[in-house]
Amino acid sequence: MSITIALVATSGLAFLVYYICWCLFFSPLSRIPSPGILFALTKWRLAYEDYKGSRTRKIYAFHEEYGPAIRVGPNEVSFNSLSALRTIYGAGSGFERTNFYHMFSIYGRRNMFSFNSVSQHGERKKIIANSYAKSTILRGNNARIIEEKVQKYLELLEREGRQNNIFLTLHYFSLDNITEFLYGHFGKTGCLDGVEKDRDLLRDVIAPGGRRLSWFAVHHPKLTAWLYSRTGFMGCIARQFYPMQKPTPYTGIRNHAMAAFQAFSKASPAKRVEHSGSSVISKLWKHHISDKEDGLDDLDIASECADELDGGTDTTSDTLMFAIWELSRPEHKRFQQKLIDEVQSLSEDDANFNANGIPRAEVTDKLVYVDAVIKETLRLFAPIPASEPRSLSKPITIDGYLIPANTVVSMSPYNLHRNARVFKDPHTFNPDRWVDPSQDLAEMKKLFWAFSSGGRMCIGMHLAMAEMTTLLAAIYRKYTTEPRDNFGLVSPGITSRFEVFYDEKCSSMREHECQIEFKPQ
C-alpha cells in the first residue's frame, strides 16, 4: 500500500512539474508577455478578477504595461491592436464563439447570439436580417413604433414628473420598443403608459446578485445548472447554495417572452397577420415546422425572440442614460447647447416631424452632432465593454505570435476605445472629436467597436441607433437637462456580466441610478 501511495504521489508530482514547465517555458504561448506566473498556470487567476468585478479594467492596465498582446490564462490571450481585430473578428476569419456564450441560451435552446459556429449563426441571421436593415428600421411601421414611444416618453415626463431616475424610465422606453418590434401586439409592453405589471418585468434585471450568478454560470456551468434544476427535498437543500435566489435576472422578461410566443402561436393565421405586422416573430414563424430537422420548432423561435428581447433592453437604455448624464454635467453644458442648436435648426414641416411633432427617425439619423454624442457615449460606455472570446480550430499567427489551435483569444471595446494614440485624452467625454477635421476620423472609426464587427456584428445596431437619435433629438428640442442629487459628481453605474461600469473619474458611483431634471426651454 505504501509503495502504491508513493508511486501515485511521485506520478502526481512529476505531472505537476511537467505542467508547470510546459506552461512557463515550452508552450508557444510562453513567448507572450504575462502579468504573473499564476495567470500562465491557471485559469482561476483570471476567474478571481471576474469574481471581484475587475477583469476588464485589470486587463486594460496589463495592456498599458505589457503591450498589445498578453497571456491571461494557460490557454487564453488578450489582444489590443487593429491588426488582431481584423484577424480575429474580420469577415471570413474562421474564428468561432467559445462555450462562454452558452450562458445566453434560453429555454434550453441556443440562439443566434449563443451559437458557436459561423454557419449556424449565418443561417439564423438570414431569416431576420431584413427586419433589422437600416432602411426597414427608418421607414414605415418600425419608424412609427419608435416615434410613438418617443412621444410617450415625453408624456411620461410631464405626467410623472420631470425629475426622475432615468435609469428606470429609459428602460421603460427600450422595453416598450423592443417588445412591439419583436412581437407586434402579441407581446408589446406598456411601461411608458404606467402599466405596473410590465414595469415589474425589470425588477429582477436590476438585482445586483446577477453578477454573482453570471460568474457561476461561466465558471461552474454544470454545477449552476444542477442546482437550479433540483426540485422537492433536494430543491430545498439546493436553495441554500444558489449563487442568487430566485427570481434570477430576466426571469420576468423571459416568462413574458414565452407568453408572447404562446399567444402568437395559438392565434389564427389571420390574427397573426393583423396583430404582428412585420415583427421578428412573424419572420421566424415562416420557418416554423414541428420537425426540427427541416425548420425551427417552438423553442427555437421562443429562444430567439427572448434573446433579442434581452439584448435590446439594457444596451439601448444604458447608452441613453450615460449620454443624457454626460450632457447634463455642468462642465459639459457646451456640448448640450451644440446638440440643442442642431435639433432646433430643423424646420417645422412634415418632412422633418410626424403629425404629433416628433422628429422623424429618418431625419434624426442624419443629425451630425446627435450622432457624435452617441458615438462618444458608446466609446466610453459601450453597453458590452468586456472581452468577446473566440477560438480557431487550427494554429494561426497573430501579431507575430503563434497561437495554437483552440486557444481562447479575445478583445474588448473598453480597451480599443481608450487607445491614446488614436483618441486624444481617451478618458475624457468629448463629442467634438467626431466632428473635428483635425482628428484622424478614419483611424477612430477603425477602432470604434461598440457593435463588434464582421459576421457577428450586432444585428440590432440600426434599431438601437434609431431609438437613441430620435429620443435625444425630441428631448433636447423641448428641454434642457441638469443633474440632481449630486449626480454631477456621482457616476451612474450599469451591470454587465460580472462587472459594474461607470465613469472612473468620479469619486463615487450609484449602481442603477441616475437622477436628472428636465427643464422646459
Residue 506 marked in a binding site:
no
Q: How far apart are CA 41 and CA 27, in angstroms?
A: 11
Please report, for residues 62, 297, 459, 483, 511, the alpha-carbon distance to residue 515 in angstroms, rounded to integers and kept in the order given: 34, 44, 31, 6, 12
Please check whether residue 105 is in contact with residue 120, taking contact to mean a CB–CB distance below 8 angstroms: no
H or E element, residue 479: strand 479-483
The DSSP output letter for 248 is P
Strand arrangement of the beta sheet that strand 479-483 belongs to: 163-165, 515-520, 479-483
Residue the block writes with cell 488614436 = 422
CA atoms within 13 A on the CB side of 488: 11
Q: Helix, strand, coil % (nearest 5) of the chain?
A: 60, 10, 30
Q: How far apart are CA 182 and CA 304, in angstroms?
A: 10
Nearest CA to 384 out of 461, 469, 488, 471 is that of 461
Q: How far apart are CA 175 and CA 145, in angstroms?
A: 12
Please check whether residue 301 is in contact with residue 288, taking contact to mean a CB–CB distance below 8 angstroms: yes
Phi and psi, residue 16, nearest 5°:
-65, -45
> DSSP characters for 443-478?
HHHHH--TT--GGGS-TTHHHHHHHHHHHHHHHHHH
Annotated binding site: 458
Annotated binding site for heme: 458
